[in-house]
């Protein structure tokens, strides 16, 4: 366990709430902020010694590290900038750690603003889903200056299975884009494979049970085959969130010249899933589109 720190956590969604809990249980003094105050009050009541604050600025006052896990670029600006933003409450030498999946542009923008105030900043998007957050087993991909990362990593370890510095500010978000591009292709190919197996008269579950021992194995195959075949999609990472992430990937590709034909196509498929009423279905619901 790292040395106890005063920390603030802004954003208590399905990821942030358990992550902040791990910080508290690892001996850190946690102050939380959430747009819906009731959630912050609930957290403070559940975690001994935890407090809640009415504004990001108040939560960040006196904190060694300020963590955020919110929705998008605009949400990040709203909790960090302005008179009630976290940056206004942070003291020189404190570190800002953002776990939001957002653009590399906002990561660099907030890094520059933090640096001008004598603060450190890390873009640190996460992978592992709600289960990873609850079990303290997230993968954290970071963009930062090495010295800032070294100071923050022992605290991030409270809820991380793996945490790695990927490069300068923005590199964490770019790495998360690679992650989402990979997942989009994997889920679509797994959906097509299951659809093909069923159409061929094979026992799709038995096929996947065999193939998971070979080169086709993936996390998606291990963890989503049964639920996909059962038509169960009320869990996991929502389609609307994946579409937000793919939009970030495609926008970045337009800037850097990368070609993402599969990611662009899968995004269109997810739009069809949304039209089926699947906005909050798990991303594995690409299978439902093929089976309709």
The single residue of 5, 39, 51, 176 carrying the catalytic annotation is 176
Looking at the DSSP bridge assignments, the partners of residue 119 are none
- Give the Cα separation of 191 and 155 in Å (integer): 38
- Give the Cα separation of 158 and 3 in Å (integer): 11
Q: Residue 127: enclosing H or E segment and its boundaries?
A: strand 126-127
Residues in Cβ contact with 142 at an 8 Å cutoff, skipping those fewer than 6 apart: 122, 123, 124, 149, 153, 163, 164, 165, 166, 171, 172
Q: Residue 17: what are its φ and ψ, rounded to 5°?
A: -60, -50
Helix ranges (DSSP H) in 97-218: 104-116, 129-135, 146-156, 171-199, 204-211
- Give the Cα separation of 192 and 181 in Å (integer): 17
Distance in Å from the first CA to the final CA of the chain: 50
Query: From residue 178, how far is each of 69, 135, 146, 182 by CA, in Å?
Result: 19, 24, 22, 6
* Residue 176 designated active-site: yes
- Give the Cα separation of 93 and 141 in Å (integer): 22
Q: Residue 98: what are its φ and ψ, rounded to 5°?
A: -105, 120
Active site residues: 176
């Amino acid at each position: 366990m790292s040395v106890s720190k005063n920390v603030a956590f802004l954003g208590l969604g399905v990821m942030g709430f358990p992550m902040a809990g791990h910080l508290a249980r690892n001996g850190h003094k946690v102050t939380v902020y959430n747009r819906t105050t009731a959630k912050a009050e609930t957290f403070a009541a559940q975690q001994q010694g935890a407090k809640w604050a009415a504004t990001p600025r108040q939560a960040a006052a006196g904190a060694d590290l300020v963590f955020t896990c919110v929705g998008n670029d605009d949400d990040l600006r709203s909790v960090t900038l302005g008179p009630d933003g976290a940056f206004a409450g942070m003291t020189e030498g404190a570190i800002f750690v953002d776990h939001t999946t957002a653009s590399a542009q906002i990561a660099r923008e907030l890094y520059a603003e933090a640096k001008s105030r004598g603060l450190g900043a890390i873009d640190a998007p996460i992978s592992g889903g709600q289960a990873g957050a609850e079990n303290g087993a997230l993968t954290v991909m970071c963009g930062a200056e090495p010295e800032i990362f070294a100071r923050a990593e022992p605290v991030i370890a409270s809820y991380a299975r793996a945490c790695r510095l990927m490069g300068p500010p923005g590199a964490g978000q770019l790495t998360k884009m690679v992650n989402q591009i990979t997942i989009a292709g994997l889920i679509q190919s797994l959906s097509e494979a299951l659809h093909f197996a069923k159409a061929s008269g094979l026992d799709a579950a038995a096929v996947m049970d065999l193939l998971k021992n070979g080169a086709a194995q993936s996390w998606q195959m291990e963890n989503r085959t049964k639920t996909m075949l059962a038509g169960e999609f009320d869990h996991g990472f929502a389609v609307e969130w994946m579409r937000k992430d793919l939009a970030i990937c495609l926008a970045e590709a337009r800037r850097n010249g990368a070609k993402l034909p599969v990611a662009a196509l899968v995004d269109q498929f997810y739009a069809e899933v949304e039209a089926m009423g699947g906005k909050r279905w798990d991303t594995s619901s690409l299978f439902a589109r093929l089976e309709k």
